Structure 1
Amino acid sequence: MMANHLLTGITFGLSLCIISWMVGILGGALLQKTSYFEKLSHLNLIPSKAVNRALGIEQFKWVVKNSFFRFLNQSIRVEGKRTDLASVRHQMTLAEINHLIGFLFVAAAAWYQSFNVSFVFGLGMIIPNVILNAYPSLLQQENKRRIDQLLNRQPRHNEDAALA
């Protein structure tokens, strides 16, 4: 019975995670128009590289880069030196927030189902939620930190022209 609830929870969680991507896109679009978006753009849930490494973010990045997932968000792509990093960072922030909204959506449903069906069913829902919503959000945060380092190293052409 427990194995059945776990497998059913994973299946239901997987389905709900795909729906949560749409919920996240809608929620992110609404949130983008508020003052909270700027505050969330600097969100850093796990600042430690060691913790990210322990969680397996590098392996997750490899999976994303070497599977069909790389085709999902084409606006987050650095093609060379002429890429507008600020625009890429904005798209990463939007994707990160969308995944966080999706994570909270599925987590709330899993919490409800833990009491309604069984704890194991709810726990089964969390497994795909972590893989399909939490890990992408953490990966976006890590990538944003790398882009921030690049942006801080770039000379500010507009400010330099204004000072001259």
Structure 2
Amino acid sequence: MGKFTRSLAEKITTLIEEDNYTITEICSIVGVSRKMFYQWKATKPNFAEELQQAVEAREEKLKQKARQSMRKKVEGYKQIETKTTYAASKDSDDPYTLVVKEYVVKEKYCVPETSAIVYSLSGGYNESKGEKQSQPPSSLVITVDSEKTKRDMERLQQKLSGNRSPC
């Protein structure tokens, strides 16, 4: 099996941080057994610390992506779809030569999701306890461009606070 080196440790921690492979797959990629990996982790404190830092960095990237996704759901976003249709070329003797027959680009606006707004206004998820909070830890500020979205959010906020509006 492989001998522990700094470059091998760096490659392992990089693969863990990228979050594309399991430990078994990483061991296979770098050419060490799982048993050896866990032995190094147990006997080499610096390596264990680097592994922990890689896991923490991976988790932080995942949280950042989740926050970005939630923000899109709260604010709304544009979605662009492209569709390309190909046909056999009439100018070529080769029936496998294709040319673009049609290229369609559709752009649509995805409106803010009410459930995401309610979730955000109600306090969301408490990372430290791993559970839903009953009260938000701090004020949430959401800036919107659309007057309709602003009115909808004000109604939601009134419903959450128990002050039902006659509107």
Report the TM-score, using the length of structure 2 for normalisation: 0.31
Q: Decide which structure has greater strand share.
A: 2
Q: Decide which structure has greater helix share.
A: 1
Instruction: With a CA cutoff of 8 Å and minimum separation of 6, indicate the structure with the bigger relative contact order.
Output: 1
